[in-house]
Amino acid sequence: HYHMDVTRMFAMGSMPDEALRAYEAAIEIHIEVIARAKPGVSLEELFNYSVSKAGELGYADTYLGPKGYQVTFIGHGVGVELVEAPLIAKGKKDLLEAGMTFALEPKIVYQDQFIAGIESVCLVTDTGCRLLSPVPVEVFKCFFDKIEKT
C-alpha cells in the first residue's frame, strides 16, 4: 500500500476575504512549482522559487509560518510511509528523478487566525510532473447538514 497526502480548505460558514486571497495565492504557488518540477531540477530550486513567488504575491512574512517561525520546506517524499525523504527544502541539492513521488504543501499562516494551504501528491515523469491527487481545489463550505463547494 502507498500513502496519499492531501490538504484542501474547508470553511465553517463564511470565510474572510483575506483567507480566500491567501488560499488563492497558495494555489498559484502550488501550480507554478508543479509546472517547474521535472527530472534534473534541484529540490532547493523548487523551494527557492516558491519563497520568491510568495514574496511576489505579498506573502513574504506569512509564507510557511508566522514571521520568525517559518519552516524551510515545502514538501516531502511520499510512498510506503506518509513522510519520506527527500524534503523539498532550503539547502537540498538533490535532483528530482523520474519515478519519484512527493507531496507539495505551500501554506500561508496568519497566526491565531487561519492557515491557507493546499497539498497534493505528484509523480515526477520523464518530461515533467503529474498530479496523482486530483481533488478539486475550491473551498468547501461546511454546514451542519451538508457540504458545498464554492
Print pLDDT tens along the chain (150 aa): 677 788 888 887 778 899 999 999 999 999 999 999 999 999 999 999 999 999 999 999 999 999 999 999 999 999 767 778 799 999 999 999 999 999 999 999 999 999 999 999 999 999 999 999 888 888 877 665 565 666
The pTM score is 0.89
- Domain range annotation of the chain: 10-149
Characterize the bridge pairing of strands 73-77 and 101-104: antiparallel
Q: ∠ CA(124), CA(130), CA(132), 5° rounding?
A: 105
Task: For 24, list phi and psi in degrees, rounded to 5.
Answer: -60, -35
For the chain, give the number of residues. 150
Helical (H) or strand (E) element with 116? strand 114-117
- Which superfamily does CATH assign the domain made up of 10-149 to? Creatinase/methionine aminopeptidase superfamily (3.90.230.10)
Interatomic CA distance for residues 82 and 76, integer angstroms: 9
